[in-house]
Chains A and B, each alone.
Chain A
Amino acid sequence: MLKIEEIHELIKRIDESSIDELTFETNETKLSLKKHKGEVVTSHAVPTQVTAPAPATAVVDQSNQTSSGEQAGTEQPTVANYDHEIVSPMVGTFYSSPSPDKDPFVQSGDKVKADTVVCIVEAMKLFNEIEAEVNGEIVEILVENGELVEYGQPLFRVKNV
C-alpha cells in the first residue's frame, strides 16, 4: 500500500516533470495520476483558434500567432519532444541488435523509415522484427537490451523530421 505522503510526493514530482500521466499498479493498489495539461495548452491555443477563422484580421493575427507560437514552441519540447511511439506487439524479450556481438539496429538520433527494423522482440523463440512504421528520427530508446517487455509497452519515441 502507498502512504498518503508518498502519493503527495508523487504528485509533486509529476507536477515538476514532463510526464503527463502516470499509472501505478500492484496486486492490491491501482493509482492513476493525470495532469490537466490540456488546459494549459488551450490557454495558448484558444486565441489563435478564435482569431484564425476571422478573415478580416487574419493578417494582423498571423503576427500575433507567431509570437505566441514561439512561446508555445519553447515550452512544448519539454512536454512532448516526440510524435510517435513504437510499441511492442507482444510480450517478450527486447533485443536491440541482431546478435550480441552486432551493433544495435538503431541508436538515438538515427533517422528511420517506415520499414526500418528497429529491434527484435522474442517470445517462445519467435523473433519478431519490429519496424518503425513511421518516417522520422529516434529521439528516445525506452528499454534496455535483454529487458522483458509487455504487450503495448512503448519501446522507442520517434519525432517527425
Chain B
Amino acid sequence: MESTRQHLIELLQENEQCYISGQELSTKLHISRTAVWKHMKELEKDGYVIDAKPRKGYKITSAPNKMSQNTLQWGLQTEWLGKSIVHKPTIASTQTLAKQLAATGAEHGTIVIADEQTAGRGRMQRTWHSRKGEGIWMSLILRPEILPNKAPQITLLVATVIAEVLSNFNVKPLIKWPNDILINDKKVSGILTEMQAEQDQIEFMVIGIGLNVNQSKDMFPADLKPIATSLKIQSGQKLDPIVMTQQILMKFEDVYEKYISHGFDVLKGNWLKYGYKLGEKVYIQTAKRQWYGVIEGIEPDGALRIKNDDGSVETLYSAEIKW
C-alpha cells in the first residue's frame, strides 16, 4: 500500500507538466482505476490540489505545505533514506517511537517525523522544546555495517550535514564538539544518537535531530531565550520545513555513502571548517578531573584533541565542556 502510493507520487512527479491518464497509472501500478481514484482522494486529503480531466487524466497543480509522508517524499531524491516515512501530527517523542520500530525490525533508512513533540528529549532525558510546525523533529533509523566503536563518528557526520545545509540559508553555523549546531553562539539544532549494539555489530542506531526553523524570539520559554535560536531569527526569513528536511536527508545519504566507503577521514576537514572555538581555551570536566585546555581540533577518528597548559596533548571521547 505504502509503496504503491510512493510509486504513484513518483509517476505524477515525472509528469508534472502534463496529464497522466487513469488507465496509464492503473497499468503501471498494477491496480484498478478505482484504486487509482482512491489514492488520488487520499492525496487530496493531504492537501494536494489535483486536476482531474475526463479523457486526459490527472495532474497535480499544487503540492501542500502541510507535512505528511507524501509531501516529504515528493521531490525527495534518495536511494534508501526516507523510503519509509512515519509521520505523526503529534507524538510524545520521535526518538522513542523510532527506537521501538527499530527494535521490531524497521528497515535501514526509516524516518520518524512529527509536527509536534509533547515530550521531545535531548540527552540524559532533558526535554527538547518542539512546538507544532516550528521546526524539524525527526529520528532516523540506521543499521550501519561498521564496528560499534566507530559509530560515534556518525554523530559528527550528522552535524556536518546539518551545518552544510544551513549554510545555504544565509547563516553561519558552527559545530560545538561533537555535534551541537550554533549560530551566533546560540543553539539552533541538537542531535541525540542512541544505539543498540553487540560487541562487534550494530543492531541499530537512532539519530534524533531537532532543528529550530520558524520560531520567533518570544516563542522560546524564558530559560531557553538566552541560549536558543531559530533559523528564522538568524536569517530573517521564514523557511519551509519540508524542503529543509528533504535537503538534510539528501545530503545525509550522500555523505553517509562517502563515509561508509572512505571512512571518517573524508569528513574531518569539513567538520573542522565549522568547528566552534578551535584554538580557544575551555573548561573541561570528566568524572575525576577538571581543567582548562585549548581545543586543537579533532583526531582522525573524530575525538576531541586538547592541548593542556603543560604542552601535553590528549584525546577526549567523552567530557562535559564549559564553552
Contact = CB atoms under 8 A, between A and B. Distances in A.
A128 B195 CA distance: 5
B149 A151 contact: yes
A136 interface: no
B260 to A, nearest CB: 17
23 contacts: A87-B199, A89-B148, A89-B200, A90-B148, A90-B317, A91-B317, A93-B287, A100-B124, A102-B125, A124-B152, A124-B156, A124-B178, A124-B302, A125-B155, A125-B192, A126-B151, A127-B192, A127-B195, A128-B194, A128-B195, A128-B196, A131-B198, A148-B288
A98 interface: yes
Interface string B44-85: 000000000000000000000000000000000000000000
B151 A128 contact: yes
Interface string B76-111: 000000000000000000000000000000000000
B8 to A, nearest CB: 38
Contacts of A102: 125
Given A87-B199, A98-B125, A122 B151 contact: no
B196 A125 contact: no
Interface of A: 87, 89-93, 98-100, 102, 122-131, 133, 144, 146-148, 151
Contacts of B191: 125
B4 interface: no
B318 A122 contact: yes
B195 A125 contact: no
B270 interface: no
Interface residues of B, number: 33
A15 B164 CA distance: 60
Interface of B: 123-126, 148-149, 151-156, 177-179, 191-200, 205, 286-288, 302-303, 317-318
Nearest 7 pairs between A and B by C-beta? A124-B152, A99-B125, A90-B149, A146-B287, A124-B178, A93-B318, A126-B152
B155 A148 contact: no
A148 B286 contact: yes
Nearest to B180: A125
Given A89-B197, A91-B149, A93-B318, A126 B154 contact: yes
B195 A99 contact: no
B302 A126 contact: no
A152 to B, nearest CB: 9
Contact of B194 (A91, A100, A129): A129
B196 A129 contact: yes
A92 B123 CA distance: 15
Contacts of A123: 152, 317-318
Most A CB contacts (10 A, CB to CB) among B198, B199, B288 go to B199
A128 B193 CA distance: 8
Contacts of A129: 194-196
Given A89-B149, A90-B148, A90-B149, A127 B194 contact: yes
Most B C-beta atoms less than 10 A away, residue of A90, A99, A146: A90
Contacts of B205: 126
B152 A90 contact: yes
Given A90-B152, A92-B317, A127 B286 contact: no
B41 to A, nearest CB: 43
B149 A125 contact: no
B194 A89 contact: no
Interface centre among B197, B286, B288 (most CB of A within 10 A): B197
Contact of B178 (A93, A99, A125, A144): A125
Contacts of B153: 124
B302 to A, nearest CB: 6
A4 B140 CA distance: 57
